[in-house]
Structure 1
Amino acid sequence: MATIEKKFEKKPFEKKVPEKPKQGPPQHANVKHKHAGKEGKDFKGIVRILGKDIEGHVLLKDGLRKVKGIGQNLGLILNRIIRREMGIDPADTLVGNLSDAQMSNVEEIIKTPQKHGVKPHSLNRPRDVETAVPAHFLASDLSFTQRQDIEREKTVRSWRGWRLSMGQRVRGQHSRTTGRTGMSVGVLKKAIKAQKAAAATSAQEKGAPKEEKKK
C-alpha cells in the first residue's frame, strides 16, 4: 500500500517561467546596404542637400530625386550636366563620398538649372507670373509659391479659386462617389428618410385628436 500511495502522491505545482531570449545586436546592425563596400575615406553617413537629409549609401542619381522639385525627367537632365561639367558619374557615385566642394557644385547646378542649358519646358515654372521669366523652385520655396498661387486664385475669385476655397476638385474630376469633403449626405440618405417618416407619423398622431375636437 505504501508503494501505491507514493505512486499516486500529488506533486506540488511548479510554475514554469519562460526563459528570456538572449539579447543580441539590433536588427539594423546586420543590415547590409545595396552599395556597401564603395565607401571612401571621407564617407558621410547622412548628407544634407537643400534641406533634405539623404543617406550616404544612396547613389547620386537617386539622391537628386529625393529633393522636392526634382522629378524623373529633370533628374536625368541634371545627371548629364553633372557628368559633363564635374566628371562624376551619378550612377556610380555614392552621395556620402562627395566632398564639400563637389556638394556645393551639385547644389549650384540644382539651384540654377537654366544657367547650365536646361530648357524652360523642363522647369516647374516655365514662365513666372510675377517676373515673366523661367524659374525653378525647390524644397520650401516650391511649397511657398504653391500656397501663393492658391491664395492668388482665391482673391481673384476665379472658378479655380472658388473650387479651391470650397475644398472641391479643380480639374474636372467626378466628385459624386469619391473625394467627398464636408457634409456628404449621400450615404445617410436612408437614415434621413427614416427620420422624416418617423417625424411625420408622430405629427399625424398628435394632430388626430385636434381634428376630432374641431368636428
Structure 2
Amino acid sequence: MKGIVRLAGRDLKGSRRVQAALTSLKGVGASMAKAVVRATGLEGTEKIGSLPDETIKELDDVIHNPASHDIPPWMLNRRKDIETGEDRHLLGGDIEIAERADIGREKHVRSRRGIRHERGLPVRGQRTRSTGRKGMTVGVERKKLKMQKEKEE
C-alpha cells in the first residue's frame, strides 16, 4: 500500500477511501467523485493507496476527460466555455485562472457585474444598506474622528 498517491497534479493520502480522496482535488466535488468512481468500475470504499498503477492512470484519465467516459455534461464545471463553446471540466489552478479571466472580461466590457467587481461591492444582488461595510469608512465614524481631533488640538 502506497502512503501517497499522485493524481491530477496533487498528492493524496493513500489511507483515504477513493471517493473521499478524489474530493480533495480542486474541481472535484462529492457527486463528481462518485461519478468518476462509477465510470472506472471501482468500489468507492477501497483505499486509494492499495490501487494498482493502471487503475490510478485510469482514474486520472477519467478526471481529465470526464465527457469521454459517459459522465453527463451537466456535471462538468465549465459548460459552454465562452472562448471555445465546449463543455469542459477544469481542475486545480485552471479554475482560478478561468475565473480571473471571466472577471477581467466583465470589467473590460463594463457590464454591471464587472463594475461591481471593480468597486469591491457585492455582485450577486445582495443588499448593502446594513451589511458589507467591512473595510469601508462609515460616515458617522468619520464625524467622531473629526471631533476627537478638534478636541485634541
Same fold per superposition (TM over 0.5):
yes
Q: Would the aligned equivalents of 1:57 and 1:96 in 2 still touch at CA under 8 Å?
A: yes
Q: Would the aligned equivalents of 1:168 and 1:181 in 2 still touch at CA under 8 Å?
A: no
Query: Which residues of 2 match residues 29-178 of structure 1 at below 5 A?
Result: 43-83=1-41, 88-91=42-45, 93-178=46-131
> RCO (CA 8 Å, sep 6+): is it higher in 1 or 2?
2
Between the aligned partners of 2:140 and 2:55, the Cα distance in structure 1 is 58
Q: Would the aligned equivalents of 1:47 and 1:56 in 2 still touch at CA under 8 Å?
A: yes
Q: Would the aligned equivalents of 2:39 and 2:71 in 1 still touch at CA under 8 Å?
A: no
TM score, norm. by length of structure 1 = 0.64
How many percent of aligned residue pairs carry the same amino acid?
Answer: 39
Please state how far the C-alpha of 1:103 moved relative to its aligned partner: 1.0
Between the aligned partners of 1:110 and 1:187, the Cα distance in structure 2 is 53
Between the aligned partners of 1:74 and 1:187, the Cα distance in structure 2 is 49
Moved over 4 A (4+): none
For these two proteins, the number of residue pairs brought into alignment is: 152
The one-character-per-residue Cα deviations of 1:179-200 (angstroms, maximum 9, x if unpaired) are 335432156256147359x58x
Q: Secondary structure at the match of 1:89?
A: coil
Please state how far the C-alpha of 1:73 moved relative to its aligned partner: 2.0
Call closer, same or farther: CA 1:109–1:77 in 2, change over 3 Å. same
- AA matched with 2:7: I
Please state how far the C-alpha of 1:121 moved relative to its aligned partner: 1.4
Q: Would the aligned equivalents of 1:44 and 1:97 in 2 still touch at CA under 8 Å?
A: yes
Query: Which residues of 2 match residues 188-199 of structure 1 at below 5 A?
Result: 188=141, 191-192=144-145, 194-195=147-148, 198=150
Q: Would the aligned equivalents of 2:106 and 2:114 in 1 still touch at CA under 8 Å?
A: yes
Please state how far the C-alpha of 1:116 moved relative to its aligned partner: 1.0
TM score, norm. by length of structure 2 = 0.87
Please state how far the C-alpha of 1:153 moved relative to its aligned partner: 0.8
- AA matched with 1:139: G
Q: Secondary structure at the match of 1:188?
A: helix
Mind listing any 5+ residue stretches in structure 2 that lack a counterpart?
none
Please state how far the C-alpha of 1:122 moved relative to its aligned partner: 1.2
Q: Secondary structure at the match of 2:116?
A: helix
Other-structure match for 1:30: none
Greater radius of gyration (CA):
1
Mind listing any 5+ residue stretches in structure 1 that lack a counterpart?
1-42, 203-215
